[in-house]
Amino acid sequence: MTTRTTVSIALVALLGLAGLAGCSDSGSGGGGDGSSSAENSESAAPAAPVDLTGEWEQSNDAGDGSAHAATIVSDTITIYWVSDDDSKSLYWAGTVDVPQDAGDSFTWDSVNDKSKTDSALLASGDDTKTFAYEDGIISYETSALGQTWTVELKQTSTTPAAESEVPEESSDFDVTIEGATFSSDYEGKPVIVVSFAFTNNSDEAASFVFSVNAQAFQGGIELDDTVIGVDDIDKSIQMADIQPGVTATVQKPFLLRDDSTVSVEVRELFSLSDAVLASQEFSVSQ
């Protein structure tokens, strides 16, 4: 092999190595720039907060057969009891507060709008209610008739239904407290006798005692209504059926505990709400 041939082979080898090194540097530099661009892109575009706007319906079977449906618009949530005939009764009207850094799950405390719920017979009386969001489901606890369960709502539409006035609710029964007198039972114990005007607004006959719950309190403690031997009252009227549209005067006696003020409250007996139908206070003087 000649000297010229040896030199040529050496030059070719050196040029080949230089080319490989250049490709390696170019790939490395390109990878570094791509990684930096991806990082910049991620930091420049943070994830937007979850948008809960739309219509939601109960997706689980919890409860006593009643179902909930909700509408979320902006920062408010309105929840209704929905009956089998699709009639609605307000349960909750409150705030929605989605954390700015919320991920796929978070909670918020909704503040009750009592200007709407105070007049609704089936609405919750809680000042606040805790809601949780996870995997597309909103959940919260609700109570009625001494039972508590968890409601789960699933979004059915991202477009809220047309805003409408909260439907006003009315009881099947109207009660007015007409006054009170004082008497004594067969043992001579002091008794207050409260008179109620009871109107049956339902579609069938109903009695006072099986339709409403009338209670009396002294110092926040309920008075005993098991009273025997009070003259001049007919306790049987409490259990008598009253036809629809008819108003009857019902007298109910309570045993007094002391001379403090008596507070009387009337609520519907079978209701998902604790709404007071009538209330009044009486000074004890005999």
Residue where one domain finishes, among candidates 157, 192, 227:
157
- The pLDDT of residue 160 is 82
Same domain, 36 and 60: no
Q: How confident is the model over 82-111, as pLDDT tens digits? A: 887 777 889 999 999 988 887 788 999 999
Q: How confident is the model over 198-235, as pLDDT tens digits? A: 999 999 999 999 999 999 999 999 999 999 989 888 88
Percentage of residues in the chain having pLDDT higher than 70: 77
Q: How confident is the model over 128-163, as pLDDT tens digits? A: 999 999 999 999 999 877 788 999 999 999 988 765
Residue 194 in any domain: the answer is yes
- The pLDDT of residue 244 is 94
Domain residues for 1? Answer: 1-45
- CATH assignment at residue 73: 2.40.128
- The pLDDT of residue 40 is 52
Residue 24 in any domain: the answer is yes
Same domain, 70 and 153: yes
**Closest residue by Cα to residue 78 from 168, 170, 163:** 163
Same domain, 151 and 188: no
- The pLDDT of residue 152 is 95
pTM of the full structure: 0.47
Confidence of residue 272 (pLDDT cuts 50, 70, 90): low
Total domains in the fold of the chain: 3
Same domain, 38 and 67: no
